């Protein structure tokens, strides 16, 4: 089975799973699942990445999971308190290192890794769950979630296909040697095509210009998320973030693009529909 076939099968099965959960399951069940994935992602980042290169920083893992789960829970279940989350987060992190530092020479570096990992994962991944209870009544949050994954998987599948068929110019060789400009453009086109299909069949209340614009922006951010994950793996000297799915790597490997485009899509429609004001 070649890589393209695996990507297509993964996309189809993944989309079918998402639809099944949303149709037959409750919103809170999906949110619990995403909370669990967030904690797994934090575990991967601090156990398999940070501690892999810096074993002396292995103590960051549990405080990261604790704080990250708290932030994710606020985003998923109590978004009205999100405005105070960064302040509380900063206070707890500061107190933790004030009274639990091991080496004054590395305390700022350790604090930096902790803050970076939690912001990277706990402030992004939970929006995949929060979107199902989208606070704008005229937009169905479950359909918006399908849009998120459709853009992501369309981007991924078309980028791989166009890259294999037409790729000649490297996109960002230092971070990902195999990615090409042609593949990136094909991915953007694929995400837009699938977004239009979701709009035609599900999100009929959203205008076509909005769909085209958000698919383009989310496609770019999704590709950036992929490159950022590659940057982390190169820095921490690992091939995969974990073993969440056999042959597909860890949670961060599978959700790197969604982590960047889900918040973009969420806040785009929130801002354009007056949800913040």
Residues of the chain above pLDDT 70, percent: 92
The residues spanned by each domain of the chain are 3-272
258: nearest Cα among 153, 137, 101: 153
Residues 132 and 145: beta-carbon distance below 8 Å: yes
pTM score of the predicted model: 0.90
Cα dist from 155 to 97, 124, 231, 261, whole Å:
41, 19, 20, 11
Residues of the chain above pLDDT 90, percent: 65
CB atoms near residue 205 (< 10 Å): 13
Residues 122 and 42: beta-carbon distance below 8 Å: yes
Alpha-carbon Rg for the chain in angstroms = 19
Segment 68-88, tens digit of pLDDT: 999 999 999 999 899 999 999
Let me know if 174 is exposed, middle or buried by CB neighbors in 10 A (0-12, 13-18, 19+).
exposed
Residue 67 has a pLDDT of: 96
Is the Cα dihedral 203, 224, 169, 253 positive or negative?
Answer: negative
Residue 4 has a pLDDT of: 63
């Amino acid at each position: 089975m070649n890589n393209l076939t695996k990507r297509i099968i993964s996309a189809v099965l993944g989309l079918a799973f998402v639809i099944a959960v949303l149709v037959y399951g409750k919103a809170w069940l999906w949110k619990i699942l995403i909370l669990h994935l967030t904690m797994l992602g934090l575990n991967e980042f601090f156990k398999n990445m940070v501690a892999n290169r810096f074993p002396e920083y292995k103590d960051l893992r549990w405080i990261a999971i604790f704080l990250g789960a708290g932030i994710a829970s606020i985003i998923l279940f109590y978004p009205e308190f999100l405005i105070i989350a960064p302040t509380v987060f900063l206070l707890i992190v500061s107190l933790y290192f004030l009274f639990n530092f091991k080496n004054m020479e590395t305390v700022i570096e350790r604090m930096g890794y902790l803050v970076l990992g939690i912001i990277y994962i706990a402030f992004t991944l939970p929006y995949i769950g929060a979107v199902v209870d989208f606070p704008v009544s005229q937009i169905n949050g479950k359909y918006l979630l399908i849009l998120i994954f459709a853009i992501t998987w369309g981007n991924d599948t078309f980028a791989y296909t166009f890259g294999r068929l037409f790729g000649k110019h490297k996109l960002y060789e230092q971070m990902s040697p195999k990615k090409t400009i042609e593949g990136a453009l094909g991915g953007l086109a694929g995400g837009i095509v699938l977004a239009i299909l979701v709009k035609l069949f599900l999100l009929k209340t959203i205008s076509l210009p909005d769909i085209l614009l958000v698919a383009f922006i989310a496609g770019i951010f999704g590709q950036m998320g992929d490159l950022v994950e590659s940057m982390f793996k190169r820095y921490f000297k690992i091939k995969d973030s974990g073993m969440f799915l056999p042959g597909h790597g860890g949670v961060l490997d599978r959700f790197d693009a969604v982590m960047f485009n889900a918040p973009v899509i969420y806040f785009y429609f929130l801002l354009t529909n007056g949800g913040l004001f």
